[in-house]
Structure 1
Amino acid sequence: MNADAEEAARRLGLDEQARAWLDEAAGLEAPGGGPHLAPPSRAREALAPLGPARADEDEIAALWPDGSWSEELMWVVGRMYARLAADLAEGRTEWRDWPVLVHSADARVRCAMPVALTAAVPPVLAEHARWGVPAPVSAATLADIGRHLAQTRAMFGRVGLETATWAALHFRCGLYELGRLQYEPATVRWSAPQETPGLESEPEPARGAPVLRLHIPADGPLDPEQVDASLARARGFFADCFGTDYRIASCSSWLLDPQLAEYLPESSNIIAFQRRFALVEEDAPGDGDVFRFVFGMPAVDVARAPRRSRLEKAAVEHLRAGRHWRVRTGWLRL
């Protein structure tokens, strides 16, 4: 293992996954000699594109690197920036796991990723501009980081960015937010579609065909009109900016689990969203996702879960009955 990575991990109390990640990033060259961080007096200005809530902005600004950060921690920030820059330059499309630092006792360690992201904002915006991405789309896309800072605080009661792997996707130009939904360019990899009640049969999209993976920000109701408006923008946006005609979109989510229809009325926004998609055979365990996105809990804990809404009651009673939620994949034509 690289000596710098080993020393940084040891001094900062990082786990083996973080050690391995740092070892891999140790040899990367950072453009311009390293991250150019704003001075503490401009920390809030640097954080603004990430869209942090006031509590997160206040705490990260108060913890901003000011000479008190250790050499090892600044080296980690530099490796994060170098990794972001390399993935952006390479046009990387595959997901790369990032260290989860939210459990560190040192708040400065937990802030390393948000600080590194602020240094990566200018090159990402420059790349957006090169492709003709409208400024409002760029702003909405990067501001999603603020949602995840807030989610981390809600789930763990502390500042940090638990979803660093997700955040890195935005900074390699791998995701764009268009109104209510987010879109990740990808290719079809799933198996043949299965029968979906209430949806006319569609021919199977060819494996390897371009597809936009839909993601749903935790940002209020899943209003059908807002979903319609977002879907109507997607095909033209990617054709105009990137020259690829994405004719289909897919979604992998607990929201597509047909079991929800046993508990929610036909008038539910969730059910209306489900009805847009033809399901495929692919599925995965979904209990953890339900507790994360419905209750804001990092683990399944039936005893602690509230039951205030119809959806919360359904989520709990389903598990109490010995059943489980699934993450299902579906697709639709744009």
Structure 2
Amino acid sequence: MNIFTHLKENEIRSLCNHINMPTEATDETIRVMNTYDFSNLQPYFDCLFDVKKGDIAVKEMNEILKDEADKGFILLATSLSAALYTQEQYHEKGISDDIFYDTMGCFSRFVKEHKVSYGVYGFDRFFWSYRQLAQSLFRIGTLEFELAVFPLEDIVVNGKTLLKKNEPYLSIHIPSDARIDKANNHDSYHRANAFFAKYYPEFHYNMFYCNSWIISPNLKKVLPETSNIIQFLSDFSIIKVDEDEEGYKTWVFKNSNLTPEQFPEDTSLQRNIKQHVLNGGKIGGARGVIDKNLF
């Protein structure tokens, strides 16, 4: 695939418009498209469409661009060009543009999250986003679902094997703009089952799986039962808890380097977690599963 085929202003602007990219970020992307020679990235472009080779593209392109001030927007332009190839593949499979734009909305979301964290628009999630380009990860409703194979040892709870080593499963990811109330969560699970049965019938999975701070049972100590987070985690059978995992800092406080004393208190979630941690409590992270047949 040729990196330049879709690297055209009208196509990139149209895509950015469909995925609600901030105008300033779109303009920056177009600027680097008109000033940077992308030909040195061509040898690794095809890797973006293969989830098993995506990390090669990440490593090699990052090395090529390590001294470029516009590195983030160069990688964003490359990714958006690749996304338009992915759209063609969606069309061949009959997958709707609604799913495509929802899935590729990750790029706008990442750019906006960069602004929240650093005060300027930017793109620093190239290490992750090849999953969307390679049709390994899809946004279906409020949640994202990634095709995966379980790499760990069998999960056995109360004598029952829930997930076997090398067994296919759907990994759940929670976008920062997800509305995770019970109705939206269950709608996503239902729709995901229908989607993968229709478009990936060869992918035989039994479990949804999540590894995140957002399903840590410790959150029940700081949030009411009616909270959306508690509604989300209550669907999971928790199989492991890591008390010392601190991923919540990035997602709740937008900065993993803050001490508890520095945590902002702009939301009730931030205030509750801050008070809990200052009092010696932990949030941690957890792994959990949901039987797909429940939906």
Both structures adopt the same fold (TM-score exceeding 0.5): yes
Fraction of identical pairs, as percent: 18
- The alignment's TM-score, normalised by the length of structure 2, stands at 0.84
- 2: CA distance, partners of 1:193 / 1:46: 45
2:125 aligns to what?
163
Shift of 1:247: 2.3
Residues 1:231 and 2:183 are matched in the alignment: no
1:145 aligns to what?
107
Structure-2 change in CA distance of 1:134 and 1:37 (3 Å): closer
Q: Judge conservation of contact 1:137–1:178 (CA < 8 Å) in 2.
A: yes
- 2: CA distance, partners of 1:322 / 1:160: 35
Residues 1:172 and 2:172 are matched in the alignment: no
Give the partner amino acid of 1:60. Answer: T
Matches within 5 A, 1:1-334: 31-32=1-2, 34-36=3-5, 38-40=7-9, 43-45=12-14, 47-48=16-17, 50-61=19-30, 63-66=31-34, 68-69=35-36, 74-75=38-39, 78-79=40-41, 82-88=43-49, 90=50, 92=52, 98=59, 99=62, 106=69, 108-191=70-153, 192-193=155-156, 203-243=161-201, 244-281=203-240, 283=242, 285-287=244-246, 289-334=247-292
Cα-to-partner distance string for 1:80-130 (whole Å, 9 max, x where unaligned) = x54342342x45287665549999782x22211111012212321122223
Cα-to-partner distance string for 1:261-293 (whole Å, 9 max, x where unaligned) = 111111111111111111123647432x21221
Structure-2 change in CA distance of 1:306 and 1:57 (3 Å): same
Structure-2 change in CA distance of 1:40 and 1:186 (3 Å): closer
- 2: CA distance, partners of 1:236 / 1:220: 20
1:9 aligns to what?
none
SS at match of 2:162: coil
Give the partner amino acid of 2:121. Answer: V
Query: Highest Rg: 1 or 2?
Result: 1
Structure 1 runs not aligned, ≥5 long? 1-30, 196-200
- 1: CA distance, partners of 2:116 / 2:288: 30
- 2: CA distance, partners of 1:83 / 1:51: 28
Q: Judge conservation of contact 1:102–1:110 (CA < 8 Å) in 2.
A: no
- The alignment's TM-score, normalised by the length of structure 1, stands at 0.75
- 2: CA distance, partners of 1:39 / 1:82: 19
Structure 2 runs not aligned, ≥5 long? none
Aligned CA-pair RMSD: 3.0
- 1: CA distance, partners of 2:193 / 2:12: 37
